[in-house]
Amino acid sequence: MLRLKSNSCVHKTGFYGTPFAMFAVIALLFLFAMARESRADSISVVYLNRNWSLKNQNETLTVSDIILPSGVYSALYGEQVLDSWNDVDMRWIAYDNWTYTNKFMVNTTTLRNIRYKNLTLYGIDTVAEVRLNHYLLGRTDNMFVRYSYEISQFLQEENLLEIEIMSPVYAARQRANELKAQGFDVPPNCPSARYHGECHMNMLRKMQASFSWDWGLAAPSMGIWKSVALEYYDVAVIRDVDVATWKNTTHWIMDIRVFMDCAGRQNFYGELTFYAVELLKNPLIISDHVKTPISYKAPVIEFQVAFPIDEVTLWWPNGYGGQKLYPLHFTLKAWLDKRGTSLRNKIASQKSISIGFRTVELVEDPVMEGSGNTFLFKVNDKEIFMKGSNYIPSHILPEFSRDKTRIKHLLQAAKDTHQNMIRVWGGGIYESEYFYEMADSLGIMIWQDMMFACAMYPVTDSFLASVRKEVIQNAQRIAHHPSIAIFATNNENEVAIAQNWYGTVEERFKTEYRQLYIATVIHELKALEHATRPLPLVSSPSNGKESARDNYISANPQDPNYGDVHFYDIFKDGWNPSIYPRPRFASEYGFQSLPSLQTWQRTLGPEDNLADLIEHRQHHPLGMMAITPLVRIHFPLPLPEDANYLEALVYFSQISQAMATKTETELYRSLRDTEHRTMGALYWQLNDVWVAPSWSAIDYYGNYKLLHYWSKEFLAPIAITALYESKIRSLNVSLICDLFEINTDGLQVSMNIYKWSQLFPKNTTTWPVTMVPNGVHYDKVIPVDDIFQGEFTNYNSFVEFVLQRNNMALARTFYFPASFSSVQAIKDPQIQILISNVFCSSQVNVKMNSYSLTLNAKYPAIFVYIELILEKHPDIKHYKFSKNGFMMTSSSCVLHLEFEAKECVRLNAKDFKIMTVNQFMKL
């Protein structure tokens, strides 16, 4: 049955109604498809992404048949820079100059009547000269900028395009030396010696981490990391579309701006056709500029469309609702003569995007208790606790960072662990369109840093001019995505000045900071400013809007009563909640661990010593002291000379990281309804760029560390916490609920006391509880001495808290009163594994393999860790279990395994390795 419904839209000033029925959707889909077909009057775009060659400066090395995107490292050696000691051994690549060459043909006769022939370079990394037929078109110096050149006067039938890229190491050094000659120093000049990196990364507008970081290698990349295109048109081309959504009492409104490029210095006329196949029966014709010209200096068309509220489905963050996306299509006709144009002209440009209807607010109101302001996000008028992680580039080589398979794997992994926000960190890249589209579809909101991190930057005229282009181009490209929650201009540069990280006490550094971020970056972001969008943050961490009182450089940008904080402390016990701040929002925090030995073996050279390679790749200035002290507090770590030292160190480091991050995250989640009003927890970091000691939850190959497995529980929408408060020697038991609605009938908590020597609880206490929708119920404060008494001691027992309804567990957590080095009566659990079910299904180009595994044990097993031995199955790149690193307190448990492979894979019990803490203890 067809259901007729009313529809209305507003263009500039008025509303008009149109009937809307099912057959109209079908008709519009057809029109939408037709609009996207090639037309005689459409702008022609020819991509020059094939048949490139590469040579170094003295032409001793050449590579041919290169396909874009490309980089010098990858063109020569693929991803081998990530293996063995190649971060050092291949560094010579970055010290040479390299030239990309492309020979292409054009039919100049057919192009004769086309006004503009444009060469557009979407991403050149980084300092380069661009020449066509030996004529210099221009120079690039910003890998984040799109460069366009009008080439009509240089174009021939046979053409030679050359892009000569200078060594980024020497280019950065040259710029630093030029500034020093003028009496200016822009610190930090060089990274810590432990980084094995290169100096002056802040001199270039390229991925800052490519010169090294404390989690990543130095691979000073060069290349054409995005597409190169020839564009043939007569007047203008659509580059980007910005859509801001908001609502009044009756309608959702889209404020739309269509941004164009025009090669000529002449005003022009235009007509825009707007298609919204799921929202409008007919295309909307924007004819305001048929008679009134568009300025070539700021070519933009603005209009407004409205839809009744009840005809729009909202977009929600992950865990709160669906992610409805609406496709929009724009066709522009542009001409120069006021009288119109002929059909043969290349006047039609097209652009398609998808949007979601949602509102986002950053609420910074005075708190009800104490001092300071809140710092919380509201989405669709609902307070949302932002929980997630920080995202670094998915690859150290920018040309690989756009890999869709890797991006999808990482973002899906984030969704699967209930994350609703990811912070795109400021030392990497502005991510690909696919990245933001995936975030839109998965409901993962993006805290988007601009690409400045941990450094001062020059404020020369040329540098600031380049930054202005970078900011506006990238902001206009991504701002329409419903996943974009907020922009921040930099990572940790305000706190670097405030705490004098780099010897920046001179007043000029504060002046230059404000010149770069306030007068330049924030100024350019104003072009995307809208009443319904949060204002950009000047830095992270910062005191939020309060920092304006301090002219944007506060004495303490880490004030927990304002804004967001970053927190790291390797000198204290990360399992102890008392060491952590009580902030409004924790946007960065974490602990290091080592990837698995299997992962190390995949990157190890045949002559390499694993211990030496680990030491080389540990870039933390304090070396392995970033990991081992916390491990030794809680676990019986063998001595370095013992045969099982590295195996234990890897395993214990992952448990330590998972437990510390769990503790810190649970604390922040539990504080939301206290006077601290903590409303965000984004741990550092989701992913890795190579195999190394790092803060990541997922290793470079895509396999989960224990942190990622655990995060599925400690970020779950319903959770129970039992956090130790040392001052009163008690456990604070809290029940966390992120859901807008919760059935509280039949809820209860069971406190189970176990002995290390026996399966199943020896004592159980149960009590009824309630929960607060979208909030925290603070249930009990239980003295530890009331739990561990009589036959139960700190050394022979531990306790489990289970939130349940009708004997079904909804959430659980454990408390361990003593270090695992000192507990008593531990026994060998004698775990056995059985394969109970196998399933293999066909997907596109791969087979999805699924296994059900049953584990049996005779005694409690501490943090059961199971690995699939990949050496026997090289076709399997990564896999995931339903859980890992878990406490086994019953005689059997079932878990599931999934992986993709080219074929259906047959596994047996010998294909798995199981570890427990028990095996490292004196039994």
CB 146 within 8 A of CB 136: no
Of residues 198, 494, 546, 588, which has the active-site annotation? 588
Query: Are the C-beta atoms of residues 94 and 168 closer than 8 Å to each other?
Result: yes
Please give the DSSP secondary-structure letter assigned to residue 293: P
* Three-state secondary structure call for residue 530: coil
The residues that bridge with 354 in the sheet, in sequence order, are 327
Query: In terms of Cα–Cα distance, which of 380, 242, 384 is closest to 314?
Result: 380
Residue 311 falls in the annotated catalytic set: no
- In order, the DSSP letters of 448-493 are EE-S-BSS-----HHHHHHHHHHHHHHHHHHTT-TTEEEEES-BSH
Q: Which two tokens stand for residue 859?
A: 């005694």
The DSSP bridge partners found for residue 5 are: 20
Helix and strand counts by DSSP (H, E) for the chain: 17, 46
How many alpha carbons fall within 13 Å on the CB side of residue 289? 23
Instruction: With CA atoms as reference, report the closest residue to 698 among 391, 357, 329, 254.
Output: 391
Record the tokens describing residue 181, joined without a space.
């000659």
Instruction: Tell me phi and psi for residue 273, to 5 degrees.
Output: -110, 125
- Determine which helix (DSSP H) or strand (DSSP E) holds 256, and give its type and residue range: strand 251-261
Helix (H) or strand (E) holding 386: strand 386-391
Q: How many other CB atoms sit within 10 Å of the CB of residue 615?
A: 13
R_g over Cα of the chain: 29
Residue spans of alpha helices (H) in 4-134: 22-36, 72-77, 86-89, 108-111
Query: Nearest 5°: phi and psi at 409?
Result: -60, -45
Q: How many CB atoms lie within 10 A of CB 188?
A: 19
| Contact in structure between 888 and 855 (CB atoms under 8 Å) | yes
The CA distance from 560 to 542, in Å, is 10
In the numeric block, which tokens belong to residue 14?
């008025």
DSSP 759-819: SS-SEEEEEE----TTEEEEEEEEEHHHHS-TT--TTTEEEEEEEEETTEEEEEEEE-SS-
Cα–Cα distance for residue pair 301/305, rounded to 1 Å: 13
Identify whether 647 is a catalytic site residue. Answer: no
Cα–Cα distance measured from residue 916 to residue 908, given in angstroms and rounded to the nearest whole number: 20
CA–CA separation, 552 and 563 (whole Å): 12
Which tokens hold the place of 759?
């399966």
CB atoms within 10 A of CB 482: 29
Of 12, 544, 512, the C-alpha closest to 287 is 12
Rounded Cα distance between 177 and 183, Å, is 10
Please choose, from the candidates 12, 427, 474, the residue with its C-alpha nearest in 3D space to the C-alpha of residue 202.
Answer: 427
Q: Which of 364, 399, 492, 666 is catalytic?
A: 492
How far is it, in rounded angstroms, from Cα 536 to Cα 487? 5
Helical spans, DSSP H, in 37-128: 72-77, 86-89, 108-111
CA angle 194, 196, 202 (to 5 degrees): 100
User: What is the distance between the alpha carbons of residues 869 and 71, in angstroms, rounded to a whole number?
Assistant: 33
| Of 507, 517, 511, 514, nearest in space to 467 by CA | 517
Give yes or no for a contact between 801 and 751, defined as CB atoms under 8 angstroms apart: yes
Task: Provide the annotated active-site residues.
Answer: 492, 588
